[in-house]
Amino acid sequence: MHPILGQLRRLTLYLLAWVPLGGILLYLLASPGGLSWPKALVLVVPLCLIYAFVCLSAWYSCRFTPLETSGFGRLALTHLIEACIVSFLWLLIAKGLALALSILDGFRGLDQEMVRSYPLLLGSGVLLYLLAVALHYVLLAVEASREAEKREMEARVLARDSELKALKAQINPHFLFNSLNSISALTSSDAARAREMCILLADFLRATLGLGEKTAIPLRDELSLVRSFLSVEKVRFGPRFNLEEDIEPEALDYLVPPLLLQPLVENAVAHGISNLSEGGWIRLNIGCQNGAGNLSILMENNFDPAMTRRRGSGMGLRNVRQRLDMRYGNRASFEVRTDGDRFRVALNLPAERAA
Amino acid sequence: MTVDSTKTIRAVIVEDEELARQILREMLKTHPRIEIVGECTNGFEAVKLVPELKPDLLFLDVQMPKLDGFEVLELVGHDMAIIFVTAYDEHALRAFEVHAVDYLLKPFAAERLEAALDRARQRLGVKTVADPSELASAARQPGHYAERIVVKDGTRVQIIPVSKLDYAEAQDDYIALASQGKKYLKQQTISSLEACLDPKNFLRIHRSYVVNLERVSKVEPYGKDTHVAILSDGARLPVSRAGYGRLRALLDRQI
Q: A residues 41-70 near B, CB within 8 Å?
A: none
pTM above 0.80, yes or no: no
The domain limits of chain A are: 8-154, 216-350
DSSP H or E stretch at residue A334: strand A333-339
Q: How far apart are CA B159 and CA B149, in angstroms?
A: 6
Q: In the prediction, which pLDDT does B1 show? A: 44
Residues A162, A124: Cα–Cα separation, whole Å:
56
- Is residue B93 over pLDDT 60? yes
Whether B113 shows a pLDDT value over 90: the answer reads yes
Q: Which sequence spans correspond to the domains of chain B?
A: 9-135, 145-254
Decide which of B103 and A276 is more confident. B103
Assign B208 a pLDDT band (cuts: 50, 70, 90).
very high
Distance from C-alpha of A114 to C-alpha of A96, rounded to nearest angstrom: 11
Question: Where does the pLDDT of residue B129 fall: very low under 50, low under 70, confident under 90, or very high at 90 and above?
Answer: low
Residues 108-147 of A with CB under 8 A from B: none
Number of H helices, E strands in chain B: 8, 15
Are residues B145 and B196 in contact, defined by beta-carbon separation less than 8 angstroms? yes
Q: How many Cα atoms are found within 13 Å in the side-chain-facing hemisphere of B185?
A: 5
Beta strands A241-247 and B57-61 are unpaired
Q: Which of A334, A355, A352, A332 is nearest to A344 (CA)?
A: A334
| Beta-carbon count within 10 A of A89 CB | 14
Decide if A294 contacts A348 (C-beta within 8 A).
yes
Q: Looking at domain B9-135, which CATH architecture does it have?
A: 3-Layer(aba) Sandwich (3.40)
For residue B74, CA distances in Å to A162, B58, B70, B78, B251 come to: 37, 13, 6, 8, 34
Q: What is the pLDDT of residue B139?
A: 56
- Cα(A20)–Cα(A128) distance, integer angstroms: 12
Contact (CB, 8 A) for B133 and B68: no
User: Left if phi > 0, otherwise alpha if psi is -120 to 50, otherwise beta: which for B54?
Assistant: left
Letter for the amino acid at B64? M
Question: A189: Cβ–Cβ under 8 A, 6 or more apart, which residues?
Answer: B22, B26
Mean pLDDT for chain B?
85
Residues 262-301 of A with CB under 8 A from B: 274-277
CA distance B221 to chain A (A): 37
Q: B48 to chain A: which residues are within 8 Å by CB? A: none
- pLDDT tens by residue, B140-153: 566 678 888 889 88
| CA atoms of B220 and B198, how far apart (whole Å) | 25
Q: Do residue A311 and residue B141 have CB atoms under 8 angstroms apart? A: yes
> Which residue type occupies A84?
C
Q: Which long-range contacts (CB under 8 A, 24 or more apart) does B235-243 make?
A: B235/B166, B235/B167, B235/B178, B237/B167, B237/B169, B237/B205, B237/B206, B237/B209, B237/B211, B238/B205, B238/B206, B238/B209, B239/B205, B239/B206, B240/B205, B240/B206, B240/B207, B243/B203, B243/B204, B243/B205, B243/B206, B243/B209
Q: Which CATH superfamily is domain B145-254 in?
A: LytTr DNA-binding domain (2.40.50.1020)
CA B47 to chain centre: 11
Residues 6+ away with beta carbon under 8 Å from B165:
B149, B177, B178, B179, B202, B212
pLDDT at B38 over 90: yes
The Cα of A257 is separated from the nearest Cα of chain B by a number of Å equal to 28
Q: Under an 8 A CB cutoff, do B147 and A274 touch?
A: no
Closest by alpha carbon to A295, among A307, A287, A285? A287
Res B115: pLDDT: 93
Q: What ipTM goes with this model?
A: 0.72
What pLDDT digit, counting tens, does each position of A50-77 carry? Answer: 999 888 888 888 888 888 787 888 888 8
User: CA-CA distance, A150 to A162, in Å (whole number)?
Assistant: 18
Q: What stretches of B144-200 adopt beta strand conformation (E)? A: 148-153, 156-161, 165-171, 174-179, 182-187
More confidently predicted of A37 and B10: B10
Which residues lie closer than 8 Å to A270 by C-beta, 6 or more apart?
Answer: A174, A312, A313
- Shortest alpha-carbon distance between residue B158 and chain A (Å): 10
Q: Does A195 touch chain B (CB under 8 A)?
A: no
Distance from CA of A2 to the nearest CA of B (A): 29
In the CATH scheme, what architecture does the domain A216-350 have?
2-Layer Sandwich (3.30)
Band (B250; pLDDT cuts 50, 70, 90): confident
From chain B, the residues in CB contact with A237 under 8 A are 17
Cis bond before residue B107 (omega within 30° of 0): yes
Instruction: Give residue B224's pLDDT band: very low, low, confident or very high (50, 70, 90).
Output: confident
pLDDT at A26: 87
- Percent share of chain B, pLDDT over 90: 40
Q: What is the pLDDT along chain A (355 residues), one digit of tens a residue?
A: 788 888 888 889 999 999 998 898 888 888 776 778 888 888 888 889 999 988 888 888 888 888 878 788 888 888 999 999 999 999 999 888 888 888 887 777 777 777 888 888 889 999 999 999 999 999 889 988 999 999 888 887 777 776 666 665 557 788 889 899 999 999 998 999 999 999 999 988 888 877 766 778 899 999 998 998 998 888 887 777 788 999 988 888 899 988 889 888 988 888 777 777 677 889 999 998 766 678 999 999 988 877 655 544 566 788 788 888 888 888 889 998 888 889 999 999 988 887 6
A-chain residues near B66 (CB < 8 A): 275, 277, 304, 307
Distance from the B27 Cα atom to the nearest Cα atom in chain A, whole angstroms: 10
Q: What is the largest CA-CA distance in chain A?
A: 116
What is the reported pLDDT for B124?
81
pLDDT at res. A299: 93
Q: Give whole-number Cα distances, B34 to A106, B31, B83, B93, B148, in Å.
A: 115, 6, 14, 27, 35
Q: Is B180 on the interface with A (CB under 8 A)?
A: no
Q: Pick from A177, A235, A304: which is nearest to B87 by CB?
A: A177
